Amino acid sequence: MPLRVLVTGGAGYIGSILVPALLEQGYHVTVLDNFLYRQSSLMECCANANFTVIRADCRDERVLKNILKDKDCLIPLAALVGAPLCEQDRLGSQSTNFDSIQLLCQLASPSQMILFPVTNSGYGIGEGGQHCTEESPLRPLTLYGETKVKAEKVVLDREASLTFRLATVFGSSPRMRMDLLVNDFVYRAIHDRAVTIFEGHFKRNYIHVRDVARAFIYGIEHFDSMKGRPYNLGLDDANISKIELCQRIQKYLPNFLYLEAPVGEDPDKRDYIVSNARILEAGFTTKRSLDDGILELKKCYTVLRKNYYANV
C-alpha cells in the first residue's frame, strides 16, 4: 500500500511545492490547511485521486485525532513564519508554532514518522567565522526562532522523528513568498532597481524551495538511517552576506543598485555561517544553486507585478 502522508499547512510556500512532489512519488497525501491567505496553490492536485484536502486549523484536537488515525508520515508545515509576522500575533505564534506541534506529538503513535521543518535562525549570532553545526548552541533572537526551537525539542524527544533546520529559502512557488530575502531583493532589483541595506555584513545561508521538498522526500525514503537527529539544510557555497547577495544579483541584473545605510539597524539580527555536512553525509545533495534561483525569479517577476505574496 502507498505511504499515507499528512501535511499540515500544505498550501503554503513550501507545501505548494512539496505536496505535488509527494503525489508524483505515488504517496497518498492529505493536506490540512486553514487557507489563511486565500491561496489556490493546490488546485492542480485536486485532479489526483490520491489527494485529500481538509480546511481546518492545525490546533483543533478533534480534527487532528480523526485525521491521524491511518497516516504513516506526518509533515507539520503549518506555522506563522517569520519574525515580523510572529511579533504581530504573539499568541497565535505560540499556539501555532509550538502548542500545535506539542499536540501533534502527543496524539501521534510511536510508529508514525514525523519530519519537521525548523529554522537555522535558531543559531542567532555565530562565533567568529566558525560554522554552526547541529551541535552548536541554539540562541534564537526572535519569537519565531524561540517557538521553532522549542517545538524541535518536543519533536526530537520522540524516537520516530527528524528535523530539518532550514536556511533562508528562495525560489518561486504557486504560493509565493516575496518577503523572503533573496525573493525580495530580486523583486526590488527588477521593479525598483535599488535597495538600501542595513548591516550588510550580516551573513546567513540559503536553500532553494524545491531542494527543501526533495529533502523531505529523501528523509522519508531514508528515515530509518536518519531518524532521531536534526539536519542543517542549506547550500554550502551560499554562506554569504547581504552585500554579497546583492553582488550576485547584480551579475544578472546589472542596473540594480544597492546602498549600505551608514546608520540604522536590521530588525533581523542573525549573523552566522552554517555547515551542512551532516545531511551531505546522509547522502542528500542539492540540485539548485543561488544563481539558478535568481534566474528563475527573473521569470517569476515577469508574471508577478505587485507584492500580493508575503506573510506581512
**What CATH number did the domain enclosing 80 receive?**
3.40.50.720
* pLDDT (0 to 100) of residue 310: 67
* pLDDT (0 to 100) of residue 223: 98
Beta strand 168-170 pairing with 206-208: parallel
The 3-state secondary structure of 70-89 reads CCCEEEECCCCCCHHHHHHC
Averaged pLDDT of the chain: 94
Q: How confident is the model at residue 126 (pLDDT cuts 50, 70, 90)?
A: confident
Mean of pLDDT values over 154-174: 97
166 in any annotated domain: yes
Provide the whole-model pTM.
0.95
C-alpha cell read off for 45: 492536485
Mean of pLDDT values over 191-208: 93
Mean of pLDDT values over 121-128: 87
140 in any annotated domain: yes
* pLDDT (0 to 100) of residue 25: 97
200 in any annotated domain: no
Mean of pLDDT values over 148-161: 97
* pLDDT (0 to 100) of residue 65: 95
Q: How confident is the model at residue 267 (pLDDT cuts 50, 70, 90)?
A: low
302 in any annotated domain: no
Each residue's pLDDT tens digit, 58-111: 999 999 999 999 999 999 999 999 889 999 999 999 999 999 999 999 999 999
**Residue that wins the pLDDT comparison between 42 and 308:** 42
Query: Total domain count for the chain?
Result: 1
* pLDDT (0 to 100) of residue 214: 98
The boundaries of the domain holding residue 167 are: 4-171+206-234+274-286
Place of cell 544579483: 249
186 in any annotated domain: no
312 in any annotated domain: no
Q: Is the pLDDT of residue 308 over 80?
A: no
User: For residue 233, what are the contacts with CB-CB under 8 A and spacing of at least 6?
Assistant: 120, 164, 165, 166, 167, 207, 211, 212, 215, 276, 279
DSSP H/E element including 190: helix 181-191
* pLDDT (0 to 100) of residue 194: 95
Strand partners for 4: 28
C-alpha cell read off for 41: 496553490
Q: Any idea which of 73-82, 112-121, 194-203 has the lowest mean pLDDT?
A: 194-203
* pLDDT (0 to 100) of residue 128: 75
Q: Which amino acid is residue 73, in one-letter code?
A: C
C-alpha angle 251-255-259 in degrees, rounded to nearest 5: 90
218 in any annotated domain: yes
Q: Is the pLDDT of residue 312 over 70?
A: no
Mean of pLDDT values over 148-159: 97
**Residue that wins the pLDDT comparison between 262 and 22:** 22
DSSP H/E element including 252: helix 242-252
306 in any annotated domain: no
Q: How confident is the model at residue 304 (pLDDT cuts 50, 70, 90)?
A: confident
Q: How confident is the model at residue 262 (pLDDT cuts 50, 70, 90)?
A: confident
Q: Is the pLDDT of residue 307 over 70?
A: no
Each residue's pLDDT tens digit, 11-24: 999 999 999 999 99
